[in-house]
Protein backbone atom coordinates (compact mmCIF):
# COMPACT_ATOMS: atom_id res chain seq x y z
CA UNK A 1 0.00 0.00 0.00
CA UNK A 2 1.27 3.51 -0.77
CA UNK A 3 2.35 5.54 2.18
CA UNK A 4 1.05 9.03 2.97
CA UNK A 5 3.99 10.73 1.21
CA UNK A 6 3.24 8.88 -2.04
CA UNK A 7 -0.45 9.84 -1.82
CA UNK A 8 0.52 13.47 -1.31
CA UNK A 9 2.78 13.39 -4.37
CA UNK A 10 -0.10 12.08 -6.51
CA UNK A 11 -2.49 14.86 -5.55
CA UNK A 12 -3.19 17.39 -8.34
CA UNK A 13 -2.25 20.90 -7.29
CA UNK A 14 -4.24 23.95 -8.43
CA UNK A 15 -1.32 24.94 -10.64
CA UNK A 16 -1.25 21.53 -12.32
CA UNK A 17 -5.01 21.60 -12.87
CA UNK A 18 -4.78 25.04 -14.47
CA UNK A 19 -1.93 23.93 -16.74
CA UNK A 20 -3.79 20.76 -17.69
CA UNK A 21 -6.90 22.79 -18.55
CA UNK A 22 -4.89 25.23 -20.64
CA UNK A 23 -3.19 22.44 -22.61
CA UNK A 24 -6.51 20.63 -23.10
CA UNK A 25 -8.08 23.83 -24.38
CA UNK A 26 -5.28 24.30 -26.89
CA UNK A 27 -5.46 20.68 -28.04
CA UNK A 28 -9.22 20.98 -28.47
CA UNK A 29 -8.76 24.20 -30.45
CA UNK A 30 -6.20 22.69 -32.81
CA UNK A 31 -8.23 19.52 -33.26
CA UNK A 32 -11.34 21.58 -34.05
CA UNK A 33 -9.39 23.64 -36.56
CA UNK A 34 -7.95 20.49 -38.11
CA UNK A 35 -11.44 18.99 -38.42
CA UNK A 36 -12.70 22.18 -40.05
CA UNK A 37 -9.90 21.94 -42.59
CA UNK A 38 -10.70 18.29 -43.32
CA UNK A 39 -14.41 19.15 -43.66
CA UNK A 40 -13.68 22.21 -45.84
CA UNK A 41 -15.65 24.27 -43.34
CA UNK A 42 -14.33 27.75 -44.09
CA UNK A 43 -16.95 29.37 -41.89
CA UNK A 44 -15.69 27.58 -38.80
CA UNK A 45 -12.09 28.37 -39.67
CA UNK A 46 -12.93 32.07 -39.78
CA UNK A 47 -14.69 31.76 -36.44
CA UNK A 48 -11.70 30.01 -34.91
CA UNK A 49 -9.08 32.50 -36.12
CA UNK A 50 -11.04 35.50 -34.78
CA UNK A 51 -13.95 34.43 -32.58
CA UNK A 52 -14.43 37.85 -31.01
CA UNK A 53 -15.03 39.47 -34.38
CA UNK A 54 -17.15 36.56 -35.58
CA UNK A 55 -19.40 36.78 -32.53
CA UNK A 56 -19.73 40.55 -32.87
CA UNK A 57 -20.26 40.90 -36.63
CA UNK A 58 -21.88 37.61 -37.63
CA UNK A 59 -23.71 36.33 -34.54
CA UNK A 60 -24.38 39.92 -33.40
CA UNK A 61 -23.39 38.89 -29.90
CA UNK A 62 -22.18 41.28 -27.23
CA UNK A 63 -19.88 38.64 -25.80
CA UNK A 64 -16.45 39.95 -24.88
CA UNK A 65 -14.82 36.54 -24.52
CA UNK A 66 -11.15 36.80 -25.40
CA UNK A 67 -9.82 33.77 -27.25
CA UNK A 68 -7.14 35.40 -29.36
CA UNK A 69 -4.44 33.49 -27.45
CA UNK A 70 -5.77 30.31 -29.03
CA UNK A 71 -5.73 31.82 -32.52
CA UNK A 72 -2.12 32.80 -31.91
CA UNK A 73 -1.28 29.09 -31.93
CA UNK A 74 -1.52 29.14 -35.73
CA UNK A 75 -0.05 32.60 -36.30
CA UNK A 76 2.87 31.10 -38.21
CA UNK A 77 0.40 29.26 -40.46
CA UNK A 78 -1.38 32.39 -41.68
CA UNK A 79 0.16 32.24 -45.16
CA UNK A 80 -1.07 28.68 -45.67
CA UNK A 81 -4.47 29.50 -44.17
CA UNK A 82 -4.79 32.55 -46.43
CA UNK A 83 -3.92 30.47 -49.49
CA UNK A 84 -6.44 27.79 -48.51
CA UNK A 85 -9.28 30.19 -47.66
CA UNK A 86 -8.72 32.28 -50.80
CA UNK A 87 -10.30 29.75 -53.15
CA UNK A 88 -13.87 30.09 -51.90
CA UNK A 89 -13.47 33.77 -51.05
CA UNK A 90 -12.26 34.74 -54.52
CA UNK A 91 -15.03 32.66 -56.07
CA UNK A 92 -17.53 34.68 -54.01
CA UNK A 93 -15.85 37.98 -54.85
CA UNK A 94 -15.90 37.11 -58.54
CA UNK A 95 -19.68 37.25 -58.43
CA UNK A 96 -19.96 40.21 -56.06
CA UNK A 97 -17.15 42.31 -57.55
CA UNK A 98 -16.88 41.01 -61.14
CA UNK A 99 -14.50 43.83 -62.11
CA UNK A 100 -11.75 42.83 -59.64
CA UNK A 101 -9.04 40.32 -60.52
CA UNK A 102 -6.49 38.78 -58.15
CA UNK A 103 -2.87 37.79 -58.53
CA UNK A 104 -1.24 35.63 -55.85
CA UNK A 105 2.18 37.28 -55.74
CA UNK A 106 3.31 35.13 -52.80
CA UNK A 107 1.74 32.23 -50.97
CA UNK A 108 -1.47 33.64 -49.46
CA UNK A 109 -0.76 37.23 -50.58
CA UNK A 110 -2.96 38.70 -53.31
CA UNK A 111 -2.77 41.88 -55.37
CA UNK A 112 -6.02 43.36 -56.67
CA UNK A 113 -6.34 44.61 -60.25
CA UNK A 114 -9.26 46.65 -61.50
CA UNK A 115 -10.57 45.36 -64.83
CA UNK A 116 -9.23 43.15 -67.58
CA UNK A 117 -8.65 45.95 -70.09
CA UNK A 118 -5.38 47.44 -71.27
CA UNK A 119 -3.46 49.56 -68.76
CA UNK A 120 -5.61 48.23 -65.92
CA UNK A 121 -4.65 49.47 -62.47
CA UNK A 122 -3.14 47.65 -59.55
CA UNK A 123 -5.79 48.69 -57.07
CA UNK A 124 -4.51 47.30 -53.77
CA UNK A 125 -4.39 44.02 -51.86
CA UNK A 126 -6.85 41.40 -50.66
CA UNK A 127 -6.63 40.49 -46.97
CA UNK A 128 -8.06 36.96 -47.05
CA UNK A 129 -7.95 36.26 -43.32
CA UNK A 130 -9.79 39.47 -42.46
CA UNK A 131 -12.00 39.33 -45.56
CA UNK A 132 -11.13 42.89 -46.45
CA UNK A 133 -9.83 45.00 -49.30
CA UNK A 134 -6.75 47.11 -48.71
CA UNK A 135 -7.13 49.61 -51.52
CA UNK A 136 -4.29 51.80 -52.74
CA UNK A 137 -5.07 55.22 -51.23
CA UNK A 138 -4.08 57.17 -54.35
CA UNK A 139 -6.00 55.03 -56.84
CA UNK A 140 -9.04 54.87 -54.58
CA UNK A 141 -9.07 58.67 -54.16
CA UNK A 142 -8.90 59.13 -57.96
CA UNK A 143 -11.88 56.86 -58.48
CA UNK A 144 -13.91 58.55 -55.75
CA UNK A 145 -13.10 61.97 -57.21
CA UNK A 146 -14.12 60.74 -60.68
CA UNK A 147 -17.59 59.99 -59.31
CA UNK A 148 -17.81 63.44 -57.71
CA UNK A 149 -16.79 65.18 -60.93
CA UNK A 150 -19.20 63.10 -62.99
CA UNK A 151 -22.05 65.05 -61.40
CA UNK A 152 -20.43 68.20 -62.87
CA UNK A 153 -20.04 66.58 -66.31
CA UNK A 154 -16.28 66.67 -65.88
CA UNK A 155 -13.58 64.05 -65.97
CA UNK A 156 -10.81 63.62 -63.44
CA UNK A 157 -8.19 65.37 -65.62
CA UNK A 158 -10.41 67.97 -67.31
CA UNK A 159 -8.72 70.91 -65.60
CA UNK A 160 -5.21 69.51 -66.04
CA UNK A 161 -5.76 68.91 -69.76
CA UNK A 162 -7.22 72.41 -70.18
CA UNK A 163 -4.21 73.96 -68.45
CA UNK A 164 -1.70 72.01 -70.55
CA UNK A 165 -3.63 72.79 -73.75
CA UNK A 166 -3.55 76.50 -72.89
CA UNK A 167 0.21 76.28 -72.38
CA UNK A 168 0.61 74.62 -75.79
CA UNK A 169 -1.51 77.37 -77.38
CA UNK A 170 0.78 80.03 -75.89
CA UNK A 171 3.84 78.16 -77.14
CA UNK A 172 2.33 77.96 -80.62
CA UNK A 173 1.77 81.72 -80.55
CA UNK A 174 5.48 82.16 -79.85
CA UNK A 175 6.32 80.04 -82.87
CA UNK A 176 3.82 81.83 -85.11
CA UNK A 177 4.97 85.25 -83.91
CA UNK A 178 8.61 84.86 -84.96
CA UNK A 179 8.34 87.14 -88.03
CA UNK A 180 6.56 89.83 -86.06
CA UNK A 181 9.21 89.69 -83.32
CA UNK A 182 11.96 90.02 -85.93
CA UNK A 183 10.32 93.19 -87.26
CA UNK A 184 9.93 94.52 -83.72
CA UNK A 185 13.60 93.87 -82.99
CA UNK A 186 14.64 95.66 -86.17
CA UNK A 187 12.55 98.72 -85.27
CA UNK A 188 13.83 98.71 -81.68
CA UNK A 189 17.46 98.55 -82.83
CA UNK A 190 16.86 101.58 -85.05
CA UNK A 191 15.29 103.42 -82.13
CA UNK A 192 18.21 102.45 -79.92
CA UNK A 193 20.68 103.76 -82.48
CA UNK A 194 18.78 107.03 -82.77
CA UNK A 195 18.65 107.46 -79.00
CA UNK A 196 22.38 106.70 -78.68
CA UNK A 197 23.18 109.35 -81.30
CA UNK A 198 21.18 112.04 -79.58
CA UNK A 199 23.16 115.05 -78.42
CA UNK A 200 21.87 115.65 -74.95
CA UNK A 201 22.24 118.38 -72.46
CA UNK A 202 23.17 117.40 -68.91
CA UNK A 203 19.64 117.94 -67.65
CA UNK A 204 18.26 115.62 -70.38
CA UNK A 205 20.68 112.73 -69.76
CA UNK A 206 18.44 110.98 -67.24
CA UNK A 207 15.49 110.99 -69.62
CA UNK A 208 17.57 109.64 -72.48
CA UNK A 209 19.08 106.97 -70.28
CA UNK A 210 15.59 105.90 -69.19
CA UNK A 211 14.41 105.79 -72.80
CA UNK A 212 17.41 103.73 -73.82
CA UNK A 213 16.88 101.28 -70.94
CA UNK A 214 13.24 100.84 -71.97
CA UNK A 215 14.28 99.82 -75.49
CA UNK A 216 16.94 97.45 -74.14
CA UNK A 217 14.33 95.83 -71.87
CA UNK A 218 12.00 95.26 -74.83
CA UNK A 219 14.81 93.72 -76.87
CA UNK A 220 15.70 91.47 -73.94
CA UNK A 221 12.05 90.31 -73.64
CA UNK A 222 11.92 89.54 -77.35
CA UNK A 223 15.18 87.58 -77.06
CA UNK A 224 13.70 85.54 -74.22
CA UNK A 225 10.64 84.84 -76.38
CA UNK A 226 12.90 83.75 -79.24
CA UNK A 227 14.75 81.35 -76.97
CA UNK A 228 11.48 79.93 -75.65
CA UNK A 229 10.19 79.58 -79.21
CA UNK A 230 13.24 77.51 -80.16
CA UNK A 231 12.21 74.89 -77.56
CA UNK A 232 8.48 75.36 -78.10
CA UNK A 233 7.99 72.45 -80.52
CA UNK A 234 9.68 70.07 -78.08
CA UNK A 235 7.54 71.33 -75.21
CA UNK A 236 4.36 71.09 -77.30
CA UNK A 237 5.22 67.48 -78.10
CA UNK A 238 5.80 66.78 -74.39
CA UNK A 239 2.46 68.43 -73.61
CA UNK A 240 0.74 66.28 -76.23
CA UNK A 241 2.19 63.17 -74.58
CA UNK A 242 0.98 64.38 -71.16
CA UNK A 243 -2.51 65.03 -72.53
CA UNK A 244 -2.56 61.58 -74.14
CA UNK A 245 -1.53 59.99 -70.83
CA UNK A 246 -4.15 61.96 -68.88
CA UNK A 247 -6.82 61.12 -71.47
CA UNK A 248 -5.98 57.43 -71.13
CA UNK A 249 -6.28 57.75 -67.36
CA UNK A 250 -9.69 59.39 -67.79
CA UNK A 251 -10.75 56.54 -70.06
CA UNK A 252 -9.64 53.94 -67.51
CA UNK A 253 -11.46 55.81 -64.74
CA UNK A 254 -14.58 55.87 -66.92
CA UNK A 255 -14.37 52.09 -67.35
CA UNK A 256 -13.96 51.67 -63.59
CA UNK A 257 -16.80 54.06 -62.83
CA UNK A 258 -19.15 52.30 -65.26
CA UNK A 259 -18.22 48.89 -63.81
CA UNK A 260 -19.15 50.04 -60.31
CA UNK A 261 -22.37 51.68 -61.52
CA UNK A 262 -23.45 48.50 -63.31
CA UNK A 263 -23.05 46.47 -60.12
CA UNK A 264 -23.67 48.90 -57.26
CA UNK A 265 -25.41 51.89 -58.94
CA UNK A 266 -23.21 54.46 -57.21
CA UNK A 267 -20.00 54.86 -55.22
CA UNK A 268 -21.72 55.06 -51.82
CA UNK A 269 -23.26 51.59 -52.26
CA UNK A 270 -19.87 50.28 -53.36
CA UNK A 271 -18.32 51.66 -50.16
CA UNK A 272 -21.03 50.24 -47.90
CA UNK A 273 -20.59 46.78 -49.43
CA UNK A 274 -16.85 46.99 -48.82
CA UNK A 275 -17.45 47.83 -45.17
CA UNK A 276 -19.78 44.87 -44.64
CA UNK A 277 -17.77 42.38 -46.70
CA UNK A 278 -16.74 40.21 -43.74
CA UNK A 279 -20.31 39.85 -42.47
CA UNK A 280 -21.74 39.36 -45.96
CA UNK A 281 -19.26 36.64 -46.84
CA UNK A 282 -19.60 34.69 -43.60
CA UNK A 283 -23.39 34.96 -43.84
CA UNK A 284 -23.10 33.58 -47.36
CA UNK A 285 -21.11 30.60 -46.06
CA UNK A 286 -23.78 29.99 -43.43
CA UNK A 287 -26.43 30.11 -46.11
CA UNK A 288 -24.54 27.49 -48.12
CA UNK A 289 -24.72 25.06 -45.21
CA UNK A 290 -21.49 25.88 -43.33
CA UNK A 291 -23.53 26.62 -40.20
CA UNK A 292 -22.35 27.13 -36.67
CA UNK A 293 -22.84 24.03 -34.53
CA UNK A 294 -23.88 26.33 -31.67
CA UNK A 295 -26.72 27.91 -33.70
Residue 3 clears pLDDT 90, i.e. is over it: no
Question: What pLDDT, on the 0 to 100 scale, is given for residue 204?
Answer: 58
For the segment 81-110, what is each residue's pLDDT rounded down to a tens digit? Answer: 999 999 999 999 999 999 999 999 999 999
3-state secondary structure the chain: CCCHHHHHHHCCCHHHHHHHHHHHHHHHHHHHHHHHHHCCCHHHHHHHHCHHHHHHHCCCCCCCCCCHHHHHHHHHHHHHHHHHHHHHHHHHHHHHCCCEEEEEEECCEEEEEECCCCCCEEEEEEECCCCEEEECHHHHHHHHHHHHHHCCCCCCCHHHHHHHHHHHHHHHHHHHCHHHHHHHHHHHHHHHHHHHCCCCCHHHHHHHHHHHHHHHHHHHHHHHHHHHHHCHHHHHHHHHHHHHHHHHHHHHHHHHHHHHHHHHCCHHHHHHHHHCHHHHHHHHHHHCCCCCCCC
Q: Average pLDDT in the 49-63 region?
A: 89
Question: What pLDDT, on the 0 to 100 scale, is given for residue 193?
Answer: 76
Average pLDDT of the chain is 87
Question: What pLDDT, on the 0 to 100 scale, is given for residue 174?
Answer: 84
| pTM summary value | 0.78
Q: Average pLDDT in the 236-241 region?
A: 96
Residue 293 clears pLDDT 50, i.e. is over it: no
Amino acid sequence: MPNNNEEANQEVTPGQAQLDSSITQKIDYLQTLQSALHDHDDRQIYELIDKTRYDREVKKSRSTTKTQHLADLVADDHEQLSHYLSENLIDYLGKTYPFFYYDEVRNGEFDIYFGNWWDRRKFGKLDVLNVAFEFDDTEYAKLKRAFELDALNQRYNTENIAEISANSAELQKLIDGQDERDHQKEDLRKQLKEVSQKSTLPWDSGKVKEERQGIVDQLSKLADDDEEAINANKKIKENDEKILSLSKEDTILTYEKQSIQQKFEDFSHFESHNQSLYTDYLTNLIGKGQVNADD
